[in-house]
Amino acid sequence: MRRVVVTGIGALTPIGNNIEAFWEGLSNGKSGAAPITRFDASLFKTQFACEVKNFDPKEHLDRREARRLDLFTQFAMVAAEQAMQDAALDIEKINQNKAGVIWGSGIGGLRSLEEGIQDNAVSDGPPRYNPFMIPKMIPDIAAGHISIKYGFKGLNYATVSACASSTHALINSLDYIRMGRADIILTGGSEAAVAEAGIGGFNSMKALSQRNDDPATASRPFDLERDGFVLGEGAGAILLEEYEHAKARGAKIYAELVGGGMTADAHHITAPHPDGEGAIRVMRESLEDAKMSPEDIDYINVHGTSTPLGDVAESKAIQSVFGDWAYALNISSTKSMTGHLLGAAGALESIACILAMQHNMVPPTINHFTDDPDIDPRLNLTFNKAQPKEIRAALSNTFGFGGHNSSVIFRKI
């Protein structure tokens, strides 16, 4: 099968609005959590989130176009533009029929749906829905807008698998390029669920941290006193390209995407399998797909959401898959800084892996205060401070409601 490499990356995140700022935030252990500004959250149990800061869509998009795009699509367009510029891809010199877009979002245009319903709730007359409400809301629309902008006429669709969405997008992209169905795929994910329905819905599930007195330390993966995840928003974009195609045009190559795994827990709609059974299989499947052994991996960017059940299950799964090597590699959860970007998490955390390899630096798991006796202290969870390390290959895990598990592996080239 053909080889697949990364030639462009872009990121719009709660800790930085481009790749350079994102890496600076990661390497310095910056928290993106703060009181919510998008709406009045004073009546909610959780009143904070990891929002994208200082984002003005008019700086990136035509004013009329911006009004017709939900925030999750605006985020997607900005991150995609960064990745395209980074890749220095001349659209006129490629086969646009072999260029595609696969984009992940777990929720899509939640704010547009919410606003459409609220507008009609206060109306005394007949329902009057905005004609753009549906095109703004549907999760596949970001992929459509990206393809229209760049003239990518090949495969084009969205992956929707909750928090595993953008990792599934990456794996689908890997497979299509391997098989020769595409030469270039712009992939990734975006999410903008910091809305009343997002906070209220996750609050009702008791999934979110309620540490309103100290938002910056609320996301604390693997800490004994973790009390739920912090909702994040933003986008990550990755331009994947067939290796010989990239070489022929003299492209900068960040890393090779060498493998991916996809499994299901078939256990519970929201809770992980207590023994991490699905997580074990997905990591083994990704290693097998990459034709690598556990000892080839130097860093794991874990799903690590800061939930009581999930963090323990994932740590056990890593020990099961990696054996004694689990104590030699580095592990960290960058969600401690960015919050949980839901369907965009996999793309952003894959970029974190790529940057970690590039800089030979493992970003930390911040906000660790108290050890959890259910988590093996021999695991190097890179607590509180980035650690220098030669990283030959990195694995990223993402798991979603519904029991969806996905993992990808990147390798230096």
Q: Is 340 a catalytic residue?
A: yes
The Cα 131–Cα 72 span in angstroms is 18
Q: Is 368 a catalytic residue?
A: no
Catalytic residue among 163, 168, 368, 404: 163
Catalytic residue among 145, 168, 245, 340: 340
- What's the token pair of residue 51? 């929002």
- 3-state SS string over 86-101? HHCCCHHHCCHHHEEE
Residue 54: Cβ-neighbour burial (10 angstroms; 0-12, 13-18, 19+) = exposed
Within 10 angstroms of residue 343's Cβ, the number of other Cβ atoms is 32
Q: Is 303 a catalytic residue?
A: yes
Catalytic residue among 145, 168, 303, 404: 303
The Cα 374–Cα 314 span in angstroms is 12
- Catalytic residue ranges: 163, 303, 340
